[in-house]
């Protein structure tokens, strides 16, 4: 098992498949993009599957979420999903994506064994989408969402980040739209993980504000069970529909965190906000056995800090931005 000194057990693995992206969300990447990882630095498809296999068969991981960057840009994605679905015990497999290209690939992903998707969409207005992502692709995301639902990649969850003065007036409209389309909406507080290091706590739209805005149109009652899920959930108008808020900054969930993370270049991170990583790629390429790799992974997780420390005066944003960690 991947246990840490605070007794938490990591069963949920986030695997970043690329640091590249076809959008440039302002809270994530600068307009000109970033210096991408060179091909030899990236794990190959075989290496990704081998590490997922170690996590599942040796370390008790039961959930695998593929992310990035934009994971749909990874040419071998369908094959990776297929091979991970063939592992025993079979992990649950999901994907976090901006949805561009999903209309084309949803069926193949479903057939390969993908269970469900999280699609990120911050606005219902194409012109606001263009400002937020610096690309004119709103219709592609909507088409991707439609395809995900039609293909049965359920439940389809939608992640939205609200930016003050840009789309923060849209919270109730987004929820109304999500309810009508049977998507489970979750708002994410903006975190200090942008490549530009421009995050300001005072600018962030907080969970309290989001709930206040939603409360003006909907009756929200807390959903009792949270478990290790980062989203706190509320029943909407008595349920069964729900809305979630992932308040990593103002209501952190570190005490129940069950995540372990693998970057596209084969580094284990015990937290989004970690400043240290453990290199599995070098071990892998030097002929390490599954047991050796499992041992390195266990050691990497053992020292996980009690909390991300966003409120500590000593907090320093990690060098890797969200897109290179895998959100
Ligand atoms: N490209 C894919 C996508 O956008 O869904 C997957 C990677 S992206 C880094 C994963 C999630 O992180 C998205 O829902 C995105 O909105 C969110 N995200 C990115 N930067 C963020 C930030 N600074 N604060 C909060 N969420 C952020
Ligand atoms: Fe790309 Fe996702 Fe970052 Fe947006 S949030 S720039 S879609 S990686």
Report pLDDT for 261.
Answer: 97
- What pLDDT does residue 227 have? 65
Residue 161 dihedral angles phi and psi, to the nearest 5° = -110, 130
**What is the structure's pLDDT at 5?**
96
How remote is the CA of residue 288 from the centroid of ligand 2, in Å? 33
Instruction: Give the distance between the most distant pair of CA atoms in the chain.
Output: 59
- Closest-lying ligand 2 atom to the alpha carbon of residue 98: 7
CB 13 within 8 Å of CB 261: yes
Locate 219 and state its tokens: 């009756």
Backbone angles phi, psi at 16, to 5 degrees: -85, 130
* 22 alpha carbon – ligand 2 mean position (Å): 8
Cα-to-centroid distance, 28 and ligand 2 (Å): 6
pLDDT of residue 230: 82
Whose CA is closest to 262, among 5, 56, 75, 110? 56
Phi, psi of 237 (to 5 degrees): 50, 45
Q: Is 161 in the pocket of ligand 1 (CB under 6 A)?
A: yes
- Compute the distance from residue 191 Cα to the ligand 1 centre, in Å: 9
Paired tokens of 19: 């640091």
pLDDT at 226 (0 to 100): 65
Ligand 2 within 6 A of CB of 24: yes
Q: Is the pTM of this model over 0.75?
A: yes
Ligand 2 lined by 194 (C-beta under 6 Å): no
pLDDT for residue 2 = 97
Strand order in the sheet with 220-222: 220-222, 232-236, 242-246, 184-188, 157-161, 116-120, 92-97, 63-67, 12-16, 259-262, 267-269, 278-279
- Rounded Cα gap, residues 173 and 149, in angstroms: 20
Q: What is the pLDDT of residue 120?
A: 98
What stretches in the chain show pLDDT beneath 70? 225-228, 313
CATH class of the domain comprising 12-325: alpha beta
- Distance between the two ends of the chain, CA-based, in angstroms? 23
Task: Count the Cβ atoms, other than its own, within 10 Å of residue 302.
Answer: 12
Q: What is the b/e burial string over 178-215, where b = at least 16 CB atoms within 10 angstroms of the residue's CB?
A: bbeeebbbbbbbbbbbbbeeeeeeeebbbbebbbebbe
**What would the pLDDT profile of 251-307 be if each residue is shown by its tens digit?**
888 999 999 999 999 999 999 888 889 999 999 999 999 999 999 999 999 999 998
Contacts 24+ apart (CB under 8 A), 280-283: 280/51, 281/41, 281/43, 281/47
CA proximity to 243, closest of 204, 192, 207: 207
Instruction: Please tell me the predicted confidence (pLDDT) of residue 195.
Output: 85
**Structure tokens given for 322:** 């969200």
Q: Is 74 helix (H, G, I), strand (E, B) or coil?
A: coil
Ligand 1 nearest-atom number relative to CA 70: 1
184-188 and 157-161 as β-strands: parallel, antiparallel, unpaired? parallel
Enumerate the H helices of the chain as residue ranges.
Answer: 45-58, 77-85, 102-112, 126-133, 138-151, 171-181, 207-215, 281-285, 290-302, 322-325
């Amino acid at each position: 098992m991947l246990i840490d000194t605070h007794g938490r057990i990591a069963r949920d693995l986030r695997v970043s498949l690329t640091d590249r992206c076809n959008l440039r969300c302002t809270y994530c990447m600068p307009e000109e993009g970033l210096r991408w990882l060179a091909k030899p630095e990236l794990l190959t498809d075989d290496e990704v599957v081998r590490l997922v296999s170690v996590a599942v068969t040796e370390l008790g991981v039961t959930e695998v979420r593929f992310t990035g960057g934009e994971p749909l840009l990874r040419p071998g994605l369908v094959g990776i999903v297929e091979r991970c679905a063939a592992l025993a015990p079979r992990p649950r497999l999901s994907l976090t994506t901006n949805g561009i290209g999903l209309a084309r690939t949803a069926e193949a992903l479903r057939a390969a064994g993908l269970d469900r998707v999280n699609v990120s969409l911050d606005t219902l207005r194409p012109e606001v989408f263009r400002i937020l992502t610096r690309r004119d692709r709103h219709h592609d995301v909507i088409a991707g969402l439609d395809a995900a639902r039609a293909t049965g990649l359920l439940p389809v969850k939608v992640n939205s980040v609200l930016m003050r003065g840009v789309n923060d007036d849209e919270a109730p409209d987004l929820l109304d739209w999500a309810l009508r389309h049977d998507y489970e909406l979750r708002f994410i507080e903006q975190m200090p993980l942008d490549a530009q290091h421009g995050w300001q706590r005072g600018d962030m739209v907080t969970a309290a504000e989001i709930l206040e805005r939603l409360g003006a149109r909907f009756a929200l009652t807390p959903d009792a069970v949270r478990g290790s899920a980062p989203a706190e959930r509320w029943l909407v108008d008595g349920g069964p529909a729900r809305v979630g808020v992932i308040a990593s900054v103002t209501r952190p969930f570190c005490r129940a965190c069950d995540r372990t993370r693998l970057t596209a270049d084969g580094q284990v991170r015990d937290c989004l906000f970690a400043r240290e990583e453990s290199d599995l790629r070098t071990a892998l390429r030097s002929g390490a056995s599954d047991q050796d790799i499992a041992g390195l992974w266990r050691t990497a997780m053992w020292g996980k800090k009690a909390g991300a420390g966003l409120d500590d005066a000593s907090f320093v944003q990690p060098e890797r931005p969200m897109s290179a960690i895998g959100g």
